[in-house]
A and B are shown apart, each in its own frame.
Chain A
Amino acid sequence: MLKKKLNLWHVLLIIIILGAIFPILFMVSNSFKTLRDSYGTMLNLIPLHPTFENYSLLNKQVNLLGLTWNTFLMATMVTVGKLLTGLLTAYAFRSYQFKGKMLIYLIFVSTIFVPFTIVMIPNYLVISKLNLLNNIIGVALPQLCDATGIMIFLKTMEKIPNSLIDAAKIDNIPNRKIFFNIVVPILKPSIVSVGAIFFINSWNEYVWPTLILKDKSSFTLPLALQNYISSEGGTNFPLAMALSTIMVVLPLIIYLIFQKYILNSISNSGLK
């Protein structure tokens, strides 16, 4: 009677959290161990003799700064492109009645159901014709628009009261100004969260870049990391963990800052 019965479901949920987080802790902790140490004390999450050896070795083997810069630049291009096209498209849907509106909307919805394999060969050929192989612009170019972004922006824009836009129209404020000075500022939270999600996804992207970037100097971080796995079994895991750790820092920081916005946007994307 003194205490409410302990809710056993929390035990299950905490086990799931451990399952989700343990691999990250394992990765970070082993990246600070020497190869020999890691095999002896693999499961010690706090390294006995912390060392930056793996990081300095990594820095000798690959151009860390170049890799990070390539990845950052590519993710930025993709993010800016997707935000711009998404905002413009959503604004057209919010503000105008036009023929074929439903058809265009359904095409946007359908794009999520297009497997990348069906556009892979033609897009590869186009990028190759444009001489953009081994160039991050070639990676970014085919993915400058995204249906999920359009949907989320549209949902937020529909909450803007008509009276606000109408008042601006009566005052003869040009459309361009309504878009940039009224709509975009109201949408700031969505833009930030959707932008953060786009950036993180693009930062992590692997499939399309492997087709376009073959030359090591053009690699992004995920491609460089993949090079550290060896099918023959001789993988230097602590070294790979160091590169993995470098890869997860930026997404984690973005999440720490914008966590609330990001989770809200994801929730919204599912509400139809």
Chain B
Amino acid sequence: MQNKNKKFLPFLYLLPTAILLIVFLIVPILYTFYLSFFDWNLIAPTKEFVGMRNYLEVFTDPVNQKVILNTLIYIVFLVVLNFLFPYFISLIVKFFISKMQGAYKVLFFIPSLFSLVVGAMVFTWILNPVSGPLAYVLKNVGISMPNWSNSGILAITVICFITNWKVFGYNFILLLTGLGSIPKNIIDAAKVDGIPKWRLIWNVILPMNQGIAIYVLILTIVQGLQYVFTPINVITTGGPYYGSSNMIYQTYLNAFVLYKTGTSSALAIVTFVIFLILLFIEIRFVERKAKNYA
């Protein structure tokens, strides 16, 4: 009796989480997979089976092709702004200055506290090409501000900057923590040997910090593509002509604006597959802990 009870107990503790995960995560993923083979509009009583047509549409429809290309542009911008930039700064703070590290951490993090809707709103004004303060300052030095919301690539740039405003501090702290966990004697030894700092960083520090760096890099892509949803929806609603939409936003548009549930589901599945590839990389390089439970 005692023994049986013990076997049962851990599952009792896991039960609430398990129910929530099954009902709101696992079953929905399977259902979306099912929907991706049907033509449906979210309301009609019947769904029409169309085989692989929705997937074909994801890759052949010109709008979707544009959106996939945009997604790649977003990934490049997000990696540069939200990964490489904070990584560079965390190296500076760790190795090139000796004071105020704590203060920088506290201050850099402040924008992470605020809603992206607030960020989108404030930056829409600051960057407004007619009445914004930046346009005003630029006009005084004789430069006219481009109407960025009319250009897909400029809109993408602005949207990525807004997410950078929010995530920079967060990623900075993660990367700085990683650098902090490198044994100090390795760094001291290099100092004694008189190895230049940048060579030390390139040859020793970056390889040693690889785990957390890959973790932040992957998180930057996976969460970044979802974070940009908010400024896209608030500022451009994907325009001009899908120029600032990405796969995540297009999935939403198809589901709740165009009522094309099938295309939406196929897009969601394709996105998920891409994220799963990133997950395997993450588990391979980062999740050493999982082995403890093997």
Contact = CB atoms under 8 A, between A and B. Distances in A.
Interface of A: 7, 9-10, 12-13, 16-17, 19-21, 23-24, 26-27, 30, 39, 42-43, 84-86, 88-89, 91-93, 95-96, 98, 101-102, 104-107, 109-126, 141-145, 150, 175, 200, 203-207, 210-211, 221-222, 225-226, 228-229, 231, 233, 235, 237, 240-241, 244, 247-248, 251-252, 254-255, 259, 262-263, 266-272
A166 to B, nearest CB: 14
A39 B131 contact: yes
B77 interface: no
B21 interface: yes
Given A10-B100, A114-B29, A270-B216, 20 more contacts: A13-B100, A16-B108, A24-B111, A42-B136, A89-B17, A96-B10, A109-B279, A117-B271, A118-B268, A121-B268, A122-B27, A141-B24, A205-B115, A222-B118, A251-B114, A255-B113, A263-B106, A266-B174, A270-B178, A271-B178
B165 A23 contact: yes
Contacts of A16: 89, 108, 168
Given A27-B118, A115-B226, A120-B268, A272 B123 contact: no
Given A122-B28, A207-B230, A102 B293 contact: yes
Interface string B262-291: 001101110110011011001100111111
Given A113-B222, A126-B23, A96 B9 contact: yes
Interface of B: 6-7, 9-11, 13-14, 16-17, 20-21, 23-25, 27-29, 31-32, 35, 42, 89, 92-93, 96-97, 100, 104-111, 113-126, 130-131, 133, 136-137, 165, 168-170, 173-178, 181, 211-212, 215-216, 219, 222, 225-226, 229-230, 233-235, 237, 247-248, 251-252, 255-256, 261, 264-265, 267-269, 271-272, 275-276, 278-279, 282-283, 286-291, 293-294
B121 A228 contact: yes
Q: Which 8 A-B pairs have the closest CB atoms?
A: A204-B115, A122-B28, A96-B10, A92-B13, A270-B174, A117-B251, A119-B28, A267-B177
A115 B104 contact: no
B251 A120 contact: yes
A43 B32 contact: no
A49 to B, nearest CB: 19
